[in-house]
Amino acid sequence: MLKAKIFNIMKYSIHDGPGIRTTIFFKGCPLCCPWCHNPEGQRFDQELMYRQDRCIGCGQCIKVCPSKAIVSIEGQLVYLREKCLACGECSRICHAGVRELVAKEMSLKEVMAEIEKDLIFYDESGGGVTFSGGEALGQPDFLLEILKECRRKEIHTAVETAGFVRLDSLQMISPYVDLFLYDLKLMDSRKHQDVTGVPNERIKANLRWLAENHPQVIVRVAIIPGINDDEDNLRQMGEFVSSLKCVTEIHCLPYHKAGVDKYLRLGLEYSLSDIQSPVDERMVQIAKRLEQFGLKVKIGG
């Protein structure tokens, strides 16, 4: 049975496409953006989130952990993440919610059941379902089948992608997608690789193909102060997006720190702690600069 690793299903979303939407988050992404507010969606492997402040010290997790990743030191429970197999035994027995597996393997039927719970909201608001991540195209076979099922049931679909995917996967799903939300980060490929871990030639080439072959594509840019809000990057981005055949709209999303606590739960370091969200005046300046290229610009999703 075809299954996907899903790490979140967000109900009543209003920032991931038109109307009221259900957003399905696929686990795994080839990029590693340091500002990512869903770090639990980056790795394709299962992970364990650990909330130490919830621990009541009952010690039941020690008894069931097969890898001895939880030990008691001077009466305190200590989690040895490097030994953890992310098997989920501790999370099943922990009633305080200290330990939680990030993702759940779900079948097509299970995901569709969650989507269909909100049909009335889609109908009344012109909404639908958005497939995001992570990278939704990181699990292309499942994505294709659920898109087909949504098409059969006349549910509006949007796919958010960072574009570092196989072109044949993009071509495969394109006929079943109503709207693409395409993320751009940095225009200079070397800087893009330094920041996200991958170059951007494939990302730009895939967007060019999509702009030639799909009628509904919106480009989205997270504005990260000191990383991609400089004049050179804005100019290159404006020139590139305005050169695309069917793409005339770009959404600028201000950087925020909503997911910082997740890094701690995953045992990761958040490297952008000194960066502040751009003020409203700066976002307006950026929007006006991009409008100079003939683009329709919206601040926010």
pLDDT (tens digit, 9 = 90+) per residue, 93-108?
998 999 999 999 999 9
pLDDT (tens digit, 9 = 90+) per residue, 202-216?
999 999 999 999 999
Residue 127 has pLDDT above 90, yes or no: yes
Q: What is the pLDDT of residue 235?
A: 98
Q: Looking only at Cα atoms, what is the longest distance across the chain? A: 65
Average pLDDT over residues 15-29: 97
pLDDT (tens digit, 9 = 90+) per residue, 135-183?
999 999 999 999 999 999 999 999 999 999 999 999 999 999 999 999 9
From CA 247, how far away is CA 229, in angstroms rounded? 21
Q: What is the pLDDT of residue 301?
A: 79
Q: What is the pLDDT of residue 221?
A: 98
Among candidates 222, 246, 244, 233, which has minimal Cα distance to 289?
A: 233
Strands 128-133 and 104-107: unpaired
Q: What is the pLDDT of residue 246?
A: 83
Residue 24 has pLDDT above 90, yes or no: yes
Q: Which DSSP symbol is given to 278? A: P
**pLDDT grade for 1, boundaries at 50, 70 and 90:** confident
Whether residue 102 contacts residue 40, with contact meaning beta carbons closer than 8 Å, is answered with yes
Average pLDDT over residues 9-22: 95
pLDDT (tens digit, 9 = 90+) per residue, 224-277?
999 999 999 999 999 999 999 888 799 999 999 988 999 999 999 999 999 999
**pLDDT grade for 19, boundaries at 50, 70 and 90:** very high
- For 136, the token pair is 């939704």
pLDDT (tens digit, 9 = 90+) per residue, 44-92?
999 999 999 999 999 999 999 999 999 999 888 999 999 999 999 999 9
pTM, two decimal places: 0.94
Annotate 6-30 with b (16+ C-beta within 10 A) or e (fewer): bbbbeeebeebbbebbbbbbbbbbb
